[in-house]
Amino acid sequence: MHALVIGAGPTGLALAVMLARDGHRVTVLERDAGPPPGGAEAAWASWSRPGVTQFRHPHLLLPAVFRTLRTQIPEVLDELTSMGLRPGNLLDGARRFGLLDEERPGDECFMMMDVRRPLFEAALDAVACRTAGVTVRRHTGVRALLAGRERVSRRPHVVGVLTADGEAVLADLVVDAAGRNSPVGRMLRDLGAPGPVEERDESAFLAYTRYFRAASGTEADVPLWPSAHYESVSTISCAGDAGLRSVSFFVSSQDRALRLLHREQAWDAALRLFPAEARWAGNGEPVTGVIAMSGMESRRRAYVVSGVPVATGIVSIGDAWATTNPLFGLGVSLGLLQATLLRALLRTRDADDPQRLTLGFHQVTEGILGRFHHHLGVWDRHRLAEIEGLSRQPPAVYEPGGPDWQFRRTLDTVKLRDPDILRAVAATAALLATPETAFSDPALVERVFALGRLAEQPWEPGPSRAELLAAVGSG
Ligand SMILES: Cc1cc2nc3c(=O)[nH]c(=O)nc-3n(C[C@H](O)[C@H](O)[C@H](O)COP(=O)(O)OP(=O)(O)OC[C@H]3O[C@@H](n4cnc5c(N)ncnc54)[C@H](O)[C@@H]3O)c2cc1C
């Protein structure tokens, strides 16, 4: 089979290597340039990736990424090791700060990586380019899909693509790995197909990040836990490679007052109000200005509507299929797991029948990954409503719509106070369990609520909203 992959992001490249290992011929077409020569630091300093707006934002590569690479493409880990990367464990911070006293069998499933994304992509690119059967063509954008008609449904059956230069490239299967702004929906509509059905949240988070080079003698080299949720903002503290670390503030897109965080002075003043994050930045020297990112709403596209594929001969994976709130750091995890699902399906007899392939892929994707996407989206909607209530004058405390949110919110507050609760939360971050399965034991749920009753407020202790607004200059 010849598979054509649109987009050389993490999902497209990982899929290409997996399919080539199964004996398929794979062509990856990517609009942007490839990594510049000169190794890891050149990739970070000068690789231009207009196709991926978040390219220089911190990326936690959580356990599902580590696990998938270790089992499917271990050479990527070797490549990263040669760049100086050391894998870590999601529980390292809790151990370092004395909250977990013992290592338990099974803790190794929380192995993860903190590496700057340009280095991660450069490692994937190096492995893809030397894998027999894979051709990566850069500076080659896809402009349109080529299609005939499927016999039964009369919907388009995609047989290849047209590049920006007008070249036709034919394939047995086209894989849309073109990311969050994938043009494939529009291209399908141009062919007379109805296009995918898109679920999209109206509000979302904005992110404001700075990187620091840790000062020598800075205490820990991992944060206690990557994310924390305060009254009006959430934060991510990310360890990078090469002594870099970053702090990101996530604010609601409706919260206009906090948009001043894009100014360095306002950002620095805000950081001083958050002791854990300020400690993490460790009086380090900033090595970037504030990197801002908007348009991060949760979104999912369905290419099978009422049981009928919108088109055959094409499937959509990674961010092109669904995006999630970056606060969870799960985008690459979902993309890589979805690549393994497609690989597995292509090993079955469904691969020979375009209808069955499209329906089968939709079914496994929705059945396995759709559940995670649903849980993450529900959390977003509640959390944004909570922040928006607290931003009003007078502030309105968000009354949870149901026990599910109350439980999830309580978990955020208490997870670092009990080793079993922490491991169950880590299992959800590792995509080893949904919140329902990780907390199927009623005794564990009761422990969550019992600890929650001891907490003074449902968010981490930090500055009040008035203090935060005063610091950023919009009080
Ligand atoms: C601020 C922010 C922080 C994040 N942090 C994390 C994190 O900590 N951990 C995590 O796992 N995830 C994180 N994510 C999510 C992660 O970035 C995405 O899930 C990931 O990039 C998806 O990979 P992908 O390969 O599916 O798509 P992309 O990385 O978007 O790649 C798509 C590729 O397709 C190319 N392309 C597009 N159109 C065409 C075309 N017409 N022709 C040819 N090529 C085309 C693009 O140039 C691009 O290279 C974050 C996202 C954001 C916004």
**Average pLDDT value for the chain:** 92
Mean pLDDT (whole number) for 341-366: 94
Q: Say if residue 303's pLDDT is above 70.
A: yes
pLDDT value at 284 more than 90: no
Spacing, Cα 327 to ligand 1 middle (Å)? 15
Residue 10 CA to ligand 1 centre (angstroms): 7
Which residue did the predictor score with more confidence, 306 or 6? 6
Judge whether residue 475 has pLDDT over 60: no
Asked if the model's pLDDT at residue 169 lies above 70, the reply is yes
Best residue among 4, 5, 11 to mutate for probing ligand 1, ranked by most atoms within 8 Å of CB: 11
What's the confidence (pLDDT) of residue 112? 95
What's the whole-number mean pLDDT along residues 437-446?
Answer: 95
In this predicted structure, which of 294-298, 311-315, 358-362 has the lowest mean pLDDT? 294-298
> By mean pLDDT, which of 208-217, 323-332, 433-442 is the weakest?
208-217
- What are the CA-CA distances from residue 371 to residues 79, 435, 447 (Å)? 33, 10, 25
- 403 pLDDT above the threshold of 80: no
Q: What pLDDT was estimated at residue 244?
A: 87
Q: Is 365 helix (H, G, I), strand (E, B) or coil?
A: helix
Would you call 74 exposed, middle or buried from its count of C-beta atoms within 10 A (0-12, 13-18, 19+)? exposed
Backbone angles phi, psi at 381, to 5 degrees: -65, -40
For ligand 1, the distance from its centroid to the CA atom of residue 225, given in whole angstroms, is 24
Q: What is the rounded CA–CA span in Å between residue 101 and residue 356?
A: 50
> How far apart (Å, rounded) are the C-alpha atoms in residues 70 and 64?
10
pLDDT band at 451 (very low <50, low <70, confident <90, very high): very high
Query: In 3D, which of 343, 354, 375, 346 has the Cα closest to residue 304?
Result: 354
What secondary structure letter does DSSP report for 345? H
- Ligand 1 nearest atom to the CA of residue 59, by list position: 8
Is the pLDDT reported for residue 360 higher than 80?
Answer: yes
Q: What is the mean pLDDT of residues 388-400?
A: 81
Residues 250-283 have pLDDT tens digits of: 999 989 999 999 999 999 999 999 999 998 887 7
Mean predicted confidence (pLDDT) in 39-52: 94
User: Taking a C-beta distance cutoff of 8 angstroms, is the pair 314, 326 a contact?
Assistant: no
What pLDDT band is residue 80 in, cutting at 50, 70 and 90?
very high
Q: What is the mean pLDDT of residues 188-207?
A: 88
Stronger pLDDT, 172 or 456, i.e. the higher one: 172
Apex 385 CA angle, 381 and 388, nearest 5: 140
What percentage of the chain carries pLDDT values higher than 90?
69
- Percentages helix, strand, coil for the chain, rounded to the nearest 5? 45, 20, 35
* Ligand 1 lined by 339 (C-beta under 6 Å): no
pLDDT of amino acid 103: 87
What are the phi and psi torsion angles at 347 (to 5°)? -85, -5
Average pLDDT over residues 182-189: 95
pLDDT at 280: 87
What's the token pair of residue 59? Answer: 């990326």
Sign of CA dihedral 269, 115, 63, 359: positive
Report residue 241's pLDDT band, with 50, 70 and 90 as the boundaries: confident
Q: What mean pLDDT is predicted for residues 316-320?
A: 97
% of the chain with per-residue pLDDT over 70? 98
SS3 396: coil
Residue identifier of the C-alpha nearest atom 50 of ligand 1: 326
The most confident of 124-133, 148-157, 238-247, 404-413, by mean pLDDT: 124-133
**Who contacts 186 (Cβ-Cβ below 8 Å, separation ≥6)?**
195
Give all domains of the chain, ordered by start, each with its CATH number: 205-296+467-472 (3.30.70), 396-460 (no CATH)
Determine the atom of ligand 1 nearest the C-alpha atom of 10.
25
Residue 220 has pLDDT above 70, yes or no: no
The whole-number average pLDDT for the span 195-217 is 85
Query: Region 420-427: what's the mean pLDDT?
Result: 96
Helices (H) and strands (E) in the chain, counts: 17, 22
Tokens representing 334 are: 């979902």
Predicted confidence (pLDDT) per residue in 102-153, tens digit: 889 999 999 999 889 999 999 999 999 999 999 999 999 999 999 998 777 7
- Max mean pLDDT range (48-57, 199-208, 236-245): 48-57
Nearest residue by C-alpha to atom 26 in ligand 1: 318
Ligand 1 centre and the CA of 179: distance in Å? Answer: 5
